[in-house]
Structure 1
């Protein structure tokens, strides 16, 4: 399903809108980290709360922006998934009508009903979960890496060097359950 994602009707404007909102959300995440770190550093040095209040208010503003954008993105994707799911169900029912009752009886009525009802619902859930995560995982880490490189090249280099190690640890089965087919969740 992932390879055919760009073939769905109306997906490109949705992805473009999600990308723009994700860039703004990434900027809010970076602002949150920056202002919270500045406020904590101010307080750590023993300065009064009033000195950290401005940075804390900027952190709170960035926090609200981030979560507002998250809700907005979910709404956009929910509406698109609902519209696409309805269209897909209509096309599927039209195709079943054209194929006739022989196809339905050959495939099994239960199988066809399950495909129409649960298959489309699963597709909608897939879109609702996958599209925001796709944008978040493809844009925000790159933004954070660029920001870290701008602030400190050594830290940026360390991030780049440790990324393959993180991927290796994510894929390594520490409990040895891989042969048994179990998971280590």
Structure 2
């Protein structure tokens, strides 16, 4: 009930959208870059980026954007940056729906979808590392207005499980509640 209210009554501002993209995508990217040399010295370095089930690519109605985010063999960081610039431009112009972007918490969803793509890029670029995305589940937090079904401990366990995968385990993979799942 609370989540329904939130989805229909919360209006995202342009400043909030920019901050969300800066935090979720660029912030994670900066931390990853800063720690990368240390992780590469590890015998099996791990990066687990927290994702969401609400950012599966099939939920993006713009086929061009969906294909671009899923074309991991040809996607670049520069292309991701341009895609995020386009999103923010469309956001500011209030043209999200017309251009096939996520609606409702769109900045959160787009920033996490971009982070998923970036994680796959990093996995391809650094095959000795395990770089994966993990959706913890629908957790009772302030962000979900405590409407989640999992405790914070249960959600954390799902993310930690991905970080503790055995050496030589999967990389460039999306996990939903601790189980391998599709990015689509």
For this structure pair, what is the TM-score category when the shorter chain's length is used for normalisation? under 0.3
More helix by share: 1
Q: Which has the higher contact order (CA 8 A, sep 6+)?
A: 2
Larger radius of gyration: 1
Structure 2 length normalisation: TM-score? 0.25
